[in-house]
Each structure stands twice: as C-alpha cells, then as structure tokens.
Amino acid sequence: MNRIDRLLGIILLLQNHRMITADQIAAHFEISVRTVYRDLSALSEIGVPIAAEPGVGYNLLKSYQLPPVMFSEEEAGALLVGGEMVKAFADSSLAGPMDSALLKIRAVLPREQRDQAERMLQHTAVIPSPRPPDQLDRQILLPVQRAVALHRVLHLVYRAKGRAQASPREVEPLGVVYYSHAWYLIAWCRLRADFRHFRLDRIEQLAVCATTFEPRPGFSLRAYLEESVRNEETFPARIRFTPEAAERARHECFAGYVEEKAVAGLVEMDFLTFSLEWLGRWLLSFGREAEALAPARLRELVKAEAKKVARLYDC
C-alpha cells in the first residue's frame, strides 16, 4: 500500500472509531507506531482536524466528513459478490438490508464499473446453505440484536434442551453469536444470577422491555466465548481420509480442526470434538473414504452405527 492510500485509509479508520490509539492504527496497517505519528502529522498539516487525547487516543472532529469515496473495480466486484454470499449463507433477516445496500452501491458506480461488476456477478455461483426459518429471523433475531445495542432487558419464555416445558426468564442481553448452524444469545440471566447461552430457536416468546440496564463491568464477549470454549469438555480424534474426502472434511466439519499430515498417499487429520457420537455419525457419510483411527471408542461408535445401517438392508 502506498502512502497516499494509507493516509486515506487512516482517515476512514478514524471516521469509523470514536477513539483509536496509535498502536491500533499501526497494527491495522502493519506499520510502526513512529510511521503512524508521521502520517497523523501529515494529515493535520493538510487540514484534517485530528484531535488527540493524551493516554487515550485520536479521533476526528464530528464536523469533518470525507466526500463520497468511489469504489475501484475490484472493490465494487468484491462488495457485490460478498453481498450475494451474505444473502445465500446468512439468515434471511439480512437479505432485505443487504439488497438495499447493494442497490446503493450500484447507484454510485460509473456505468462501466457497474457493467463490469455485474458481468462478474453473473459468472459467480453462490450455493445457499441451510439457514434458520424466516419466522425466527423476523420475530426473534432482529429484536434481540436491537435489545443488545440499546441495553434493553428481555423477557423470554425459554425451553432448554431436554426440558419438556418452557420457563420464563428475564435477561440482560450482551451479545449474539452464530455457530454450528444456530444463533445464540449471550446474556446475564437474572433468574440464575449468572451468564447464560440461549439458543434463539428455543425461545418460544420474546418481549423487549422499556427498562434498560447498565453494561456488566469488564465484560468482553470475545473473552467470554474463549473461556466458554476452554471450559467445554473436548475429545481428541484422529481420522484418515482420502485426499478428495479430506478436502470435503476441511469445509464441513464443525469439530475443532487441529492439524493434518500426509501418510502413504492419504491424509490423517486431528480434531477436537465436543461429541464423539456426532463425529462417528458424520464419518459414516464418507463411506470407505474415511477411517476413524483414534480413540478406540470412536472406532466402536462408527462400527456400531454402521451395523445399524446394514440391518436396514437385511432381507
């Protein structure tokens, strides 16, 4: 990246943060802090109103805005293709806003760039994956996201896994996370007086209260999720795949992929999984192209599951 592009990038970075440190700018552009100081000085000299707060960071005066920035051909194409991927792979609550955003992007592109980006898009296939039902998206996900942003208390009627009946909960929503094909709310549960996960498709009723709450002191969503993963019981597993099956496994497996190595023309992959039972059933879908090597319990689980399948075809 040349210096002019970097200076423009620093302005955009400042516009998108209320306050940012020199260390954060340096990390973003992979430059030294000393270079950041020189760039900030250069921007100030050409009239960009950068304010510095000792020990806190830098910000732009609220009155300053860059004029509309035109996209390069590569940027426009990336945005249009990325938008189609969001619509295909994310839940449908994002489809409407994404369509609107893509229309605005198309509107500001010069005709030549727009035509080029459209041609590229026509030759790009995006295959959608399973997504949560539309009813969940409209009635649960978006209200929960707004409640997180506005610090609004939520009343839930929630049916926990394995429970026949749902129970009422009052929670302070702190974050929303998508993993393993499901959305989860991370919240402070007033009933349990502790942090809890709530799977959104198990929320039977939801009400956003007018009552607000103060953010939990020192709470970090990222740190909480990392700690949750560390505290979960996991099981190491080793599986041997054909090269073709290994490529599929890298993209499909929700178990924690660790590493792999080539052995006699095959690929041995190590995983950390939360469920050997799930991993065993998943391995059966590969047929003879995958073999569970360890632990021994995984091999037994696959064998037992294979026998159940075979019995379906006994005459």
Could you read off the pLDDT of 5-34 as tens digits, one per residue?
889 889 888 887 889 999 999 999 989 999
43-57, 78-92, 136-150: the lowest-pLDDT one: 78-92
Confidence class for position 122, pLDDT limits 50, 70, 90: low
The mean pLDDT of 107-115, rounded to a whole number, is 71
Instruction: Using the structure block, give the residue that is written with the tokens 């080029």.
Output: 116
**Average pLDDT score over the chain:** 82
In this predicted structure, what is the pLDDT of residue 132?
Answer: 54
Sketch out the chain's domains with CATH numbers: 3-60 (1.10.10.10), 77-122 (no CATH), 134-227 (2.30.30), 235-311 (3.30.70)
In this predicted structure, what is the pLDDT of residue 222?
Answer: 76
> DSSP 3-state assignment of 212?
strand
Global pTM? 0.48
Taking alpha carbons only, the member of 116, 215, 249, 226 closest to residue 179 is: 226
pLDDT over 80 (residue 276): yes
> DSSP 3-state assignment of 176?
strand
In this predicted structure, what is the pLDDT of residue 232?
Answer: 63
The mean pLDDT of 58-87, rounded to a whole number, is 71
Q: Do residues 173 and 218 make contact, with C-beta atoms less than 8 angstroms apart? A: no
Confidence class for position 146, pLDDT limits 50, 70, 90: confident
Confidence class for position 98, pLDDT limits 50, 70, 90: confident
pLDDT over 70 (residue 47): yes
% of the chain with per-residue pLDDT over 70: 79
pLDDT over 60 (residue 39): yes
What tens digit of pLDDT does each residue of 170-182 get?
999 998 887 655 7
What tens digit of pLDDT does each residue of 216-262 get?
888 888 788 777 766 666 788 999 999 999 988 887 765 566 788 99
The mean pLDDT of 152-156, rounded to a whole number, is 95
d(C-alpha 311, C-alpha 315), whole Å: 9
In this predicted structure, what is the pLDDT of residue 167?
Answer: 92
40-49, 65-74, 150-159: the lowest-pLDDT one: 65-74
6-15's contacts with Cβ under 8 Å and 24+ in sequence apart are 6/31, 6/39, 7/39, 7/42, 7/43, 8/69, 10/36, 10/39, 10/40, 10/43, 11/43, 11/48, 11/60, 11/66, 12/66, 12/69, 14/50, 14/58, 14/59, 14/60, 15/60, 15/65, 15/66
What tens digit of pLDDT does each residue of 182-192 get?
778 899 999 99
Q: Do residues 131 and 92 make contact, with C-beta atoms less than 8 angstroms apart? A: yes
In this predicted structure, what is the pLDDT of residue 230?
Answer: 64
